[in-house]
Structure 1
Amino acid sequence: MSLLSFLRSQLFVTLPVPTHDLTDQVIVVTGANTGLGFEAARYFLNLNAAKVVLAVRSTSKGEAAKDDLESSSSRPPGVLEVYTLDMESSASVEAFVTKVNSLPRVDVLLLNAGKVTQDFYLVGGNESTITVNVVHTFLLALLMLPKLRYVSKEIGIVPRIVIVASDRHAMTNLPEWTTENTFATLNDKNNARMHERYYVSKLLEILLMRALAKELAAQEIRVSVSALTPGFCQSNLLRDIRGLWAVQLAVMNHFLSRSTEEGARTLVHAASLGWEANGQYLNDCEIDKCVSIFSSSETLDSV
């Protein structure tokens, strides 16, 4: 995305307010106790979803978020449920999926949880950003596929897996891709470029989303997988950033950022789409193109 395109998007695009009726639908939102996930959950609640699962690492914070949402809504108690999910733990992901599978249906799996850090450390054998944003995000998606496929067949709908990516995916050319083992290179502290790691993780999300969507379509599995950018929004995602980068982001946040509620509109919009969104990247609530060097069909086919 060029600077002019970014400024146009941030300053001059008015995102549509979601009005889609979600009656009977069950929606799972990861990272739902704060920021974009919290505001998206508010929309889902007020758009008549039958159930909204707030997937959170801290149960106490999840319950506080639930109380906040219920107090500001006319919906009766019982629509919101809090489930524990630690995206740094594969065991937690597996336990979470087991619990979600007990629900009668799941219409939307909104994969919003993510992290940004300048500090290199390994979690589950991978650098922590890659573990949370990529490995465990797609572990969760893949483990949920049998349930979503069942819902698709039995109810006759198109369940949606929606990944919250970022337009910052275009800020890296992923040099690790040219090495013998991309993930091994990303896990090498001596060669880690942590100032780009978040961008790398978001590019990998888009590439893997497209690969998964292509495979689902080939197998005629009617589960849609898409990714979106919410734009640059006010949130606490960048709370651990320090130094000059933190100063730059603070200036951008003051002058250019969307409100959290505005950013959440992009999540809700993507969650309301059907099969037409499979394999697509969405920007400003419209199907857009991935703008990295990996956009060409030849490169994507090699992924």
Structure 2
Amino acid sequence: MGGFFGFLWNQLFFKPKPLEASISLEGKTILITGANFGLGLETARELAARKPSRLIFGVRDVKKGEAAKELIQKTSPTVEIDVWTLDYNSYDSLVNFASRVATVDHLDYALLNAGIKMMEYQVSDGGHETNVRINHLGTSLLSLLLLPTLQTSAKVTGKPCHLTIVSSEGHFWVPFHERTAPKILARMNEKETFGTAMQRYYTSKLLNVLWTRELASKVNDKQVRINTVNPGFCYSGLHRHESTGVIKIVLWLFGWTTEQGGHCLADALIEHDDSHGEYLSLQRTMRPSDFVASEEGKAVQKRIWKETIALLKEEAPSARIPTFDD
């Protein structure tokens, strides 16, 4: 797993399966970010068919979110669907969204799927490189802000809640030279570190894996079970910033459909009750990259955690970030 030929083999011969028809989500409340298109939409469609009581969509474009809601309710008319504004590139939006989520009776499952893949260096409004700002900082802050609601819900329902963060198999394939810098995240803002092709996107997905593992180590799995998932290489709007055409050829040869990718996300979110802090791929628990599993990787993981917490406290002072015993 993680090698290029292994990747091609899995893309060609592994076929993701939908959730078992016997699985019912009756009475459950499920949150999905980026649910208005691509993998998020397909995941929402599959979960809606299992009749949860409520789906919450966190989307940047409410108009597209409403269109996704209408599409899903054609086949799952009994499911209540809320479409709420969420912009990962805005700390205020993340804080306001999480505050709104905190008003629900309970939240059983949260899938943090929203993300971006920028192929060229770009700086976000806050001065961070865009892939890092949205995929890592935005995702990390939202995971922290949702955690108290998930923990409270677990006490209400008497069952562990699930938080799943979407990462990528690409975390195996990046050198992550920035890990040796005195301040890793600050170094990743510098243009000369951006790399070529999809390197920076995959590095941001590596940060997702490291963050998930460290967050899980600080949370009681009897309350919230936290994992990260590789959805596979799929046709998706994620590739919209790819301009060379190479991705289209590779997708045509090896890509899974968005429906198949949705199967992987639904499986990771709903199944695997015995997993916590794990990397899920091919619809099972798998070992992450050698770097992540190494002693160096574990040390970098803690550095990323401390840098991220410090940065979020400074840049998002209105956010109520939970405290942890380190």
Query: Which TM-score band (shorter chain)?
Result: over 0.9
Tell whether 2:150 aligns with 1:148.
yes
Shift of 1:44: 1.1
Partner of 1:299: 297
Give yes or no for the alignment of 1:157 onto 2:155.
Answer: no
Deviations 1:75-118 (A, max 9, x none): 32x51111110111111001111111111011111000000112
Amino acid at match of 1:144: L
1:248 aligns with 246
- Measure the CA separation in 2 of the matches of 1:262 and 1:276: 23
Q: Give, in angstroms, the shift of residue 172 of structure 1.
A: 0.5
* Residue 301 of structure 1, CA deviation: 4.5
Aligned CA RMSD, in angstroms, stands at 1.5
Structure-1 residue corresponding to 2:39: 36
The equivalent of 2:93 in structure 1 is 92
Separation in structure 1 between the aligned mates of residue 252 and residue 300 of structure 2, nearest angstrom: 40
- The answer for unaligned runs of 5 or more in structure 1 is none
Q: How does 1:195-274 map to 2 (within 5 A)?
A: 195=197, 196-217=199-220, 222-243=223-244, 247-273=245-271
Q: What per-residue deviation string (whole Å, max 9, x for no partner) do you get for residues 167-187 of structure 1? A: 011110210001111011101
The corresponding residue for 2:12 is: 11
Q: Quickly say closer, same or farther: Cα 1:294–1:223, change in 2 above 3 A.
A: same
**Which amino acid in structure 2 is aligned with residue 185 of structure 1?**
R
Equivalent residues in 2 for 1:47-58 (5 A)?
47-58=50-61
How far apart, in 1, do the equivalents of 2:251 and 2:65 lie?
A: 26
CA shift for structure 1 position 277 = 1.9
1:68 corresponds to which residue?
71
- Rounded to whole Å, the distance in 1 between the matches of 2:251 and 2:146 is 35
C-alpha distance 9-270 of structure 1, shift in aligned 2 (>3 A): same
The 1-side partners of 2:90 and 2:222 are apart by 28
**Separation in 2 of the partners of 1:47 and 1:258?**
23
Rounded to whole Å, the distance in 1 between the matches of 2:299 and 2:156 is 32
Question: Matched residue of 1:225: which SS?
Answer: strand
Aligned counterparts of 1:280 and 1:148: Cα–Cα separation in 2: 18
1-structure distance, mates of 2:183, 2:196: 18
Question: What SS does structure 1 have at the residue aligned with 2:262?
Answer: helix
Following superposition, the deviation at residue 293 of structure 1 comes to 2.1
Partner of 1:108: 109
Secondary structure at the aligned position of 1:81 is classed as: strand
Q: Is the 8 A contact 2:178 2:193 kept in 1?
A: no
Instruction: Name 2:277's counterpart in structure 1.
Output: 279
The share of aligned pairs that are identical, in percent, is 31
> How far apart are 1:290 and its partner, in Å?
0.6
Cα distance change, pair 28–299 in 1 and its aligned pair in 2 (3 A): same
Whether the 8 Å CA contact 2:51–2:76 is kept in 1: the answer is no
Question: What secondary structure, in the 3-state scheme, does the structure 2 residue paired with 1:146 have?
Answer: helix
The answer (yes or no) to whether the contact 2:160–2:222 under 8 Å persists in 1 is no
d(CA) in 2 for partners of 1:63, 1:87: 19
By how many angstroms is 1:298 displaced? Answer: 5.3
* Cα distance in 1 for residues equivalent to 2:214 and 2:193: 27
Superposed displacement of residue 189, structure 1: 1.9
Which has the larger displacement, 15-24 or 92-101? 15-24
Stretch of structure 1 that moved more, 191-200 or 127-136: 191-200
CA deviation string 1:277-298 (max 9, x = no partner): 2100011100001124222255
Deviations 1:215-263 (A, max 9, x none): 114xx662111011111101110111123xxx22111111110011011
Deviation at 1:54, TM superposition (A): 1.4
Partners of 1:8 and 1:121 in 2: how far apart? 34
TM-score w.r.t. the length of structure 1 is: 0.93
What secondary structure, in the 3-state scheme, does the structure 1 residue paired with 2:238 have? coil
Amino acid at match of 1:70: Q
How far apart, CA to CA, are the structure 2 residues paired with 1:262 and 1:191?
A: 34
Name the structure 2 match of 1:82.
83
TM-score w.r.t. the length of structure 2 is 0.87
Distance 1:227 1:292 in 2: 16
